Amino acid sequence: MQFVDHVTINVESGAGGNGVVAWRREKYEPYGGPAGGDGGRGGTVYIQASNRLNTLLELKYQSIYRAEAGQNGRNKGMHGRAGNDIYIEVPCGTIVRDSDTGHAIADLVEDGENVMVAMGGRGGRGNARFSSSVRQAPQFCEPGES
């Protein structure tokens, strides 16, 4: 078995889903109204210490890790699904560093200890969130954040 004790990986969090502009059109709702749902939040990337590993060999061959993006909102006030978070397992005693600055982010010593390295994006709000007594039919929504 090969022993690897230094790897460089790229991580990317998931983008948030977009909000949507939608309208209620039902038989017994004469005026309807806004019904756009919010987008889901994007997935977050964590690095987690594990006792079952003793080398970084698995990380050497996969250098890019991407979390899932959130889904867009839908009509009828339905929110989009949030993206799944991903956990990258490393052996206990691993020091996580920022490759640009060289600054140590965390020293993962105990089993199960984790650190967030890329936060998922916030989902955008649909037009139902912007309705008020003054603005009863908003024609806009927010895009999701990366």
Residue 36 in this model has a pLDDT that exceeds 80: yes
- Which pLDDT belongs to residue 81? 93
d(CA 53, CA 8) in angstroms, rounded, equals 17
d(CA 51, CA 37) in angstroms, rounded, equals 42
Confidence at 1, pLDDT banded by 50, 70, 90: low
Average pLDDT over residues 51-65: 87
* DSSP 3-state of 138: coil
- Which pLDDT belongs to residue 129? 86
d(CA 73, CA 142) in angstroms, rounded, equals 11
Average pLDDT over residues 49-69: 89
Closest alpha carbon to 94 in 74, 75, 117, 64: 117
- Which pLDDT belongs to residue 115? 93
- Return the amino acid letter for 106: A
- Which pLDDT belongs to residue 34? 87
Q: Calculate the CA 3 to chain-centre distance.
A: 32
- Which pLDDT belongs to residue 133? 86
Average pLDDT over residues 64-86: 91
Confidence at 54, pLDDT banded by 50, 70, 90: confident
What is the DSSP secondary-structure string of 3-47? -------EEEPPPPPPP---EEEETTEEEEEE-PPPPPPPP-EEE
Under 8 Å CB-to-CB from 29, ≥6 apart: which residues? none
Average pLDDT over residues 72-81: 88
Residue with tokens 């006792």: 51
- Which pLDDT belongs to residue 117? 93
Average pLDDT over residues 6-17: 90
Contact (CB, 8 A) for 70 and 82: yes
Percent of the chain with pLDDT over 90: 38
d(CA 74, CA 59) in angstroms, rounded, equals 37
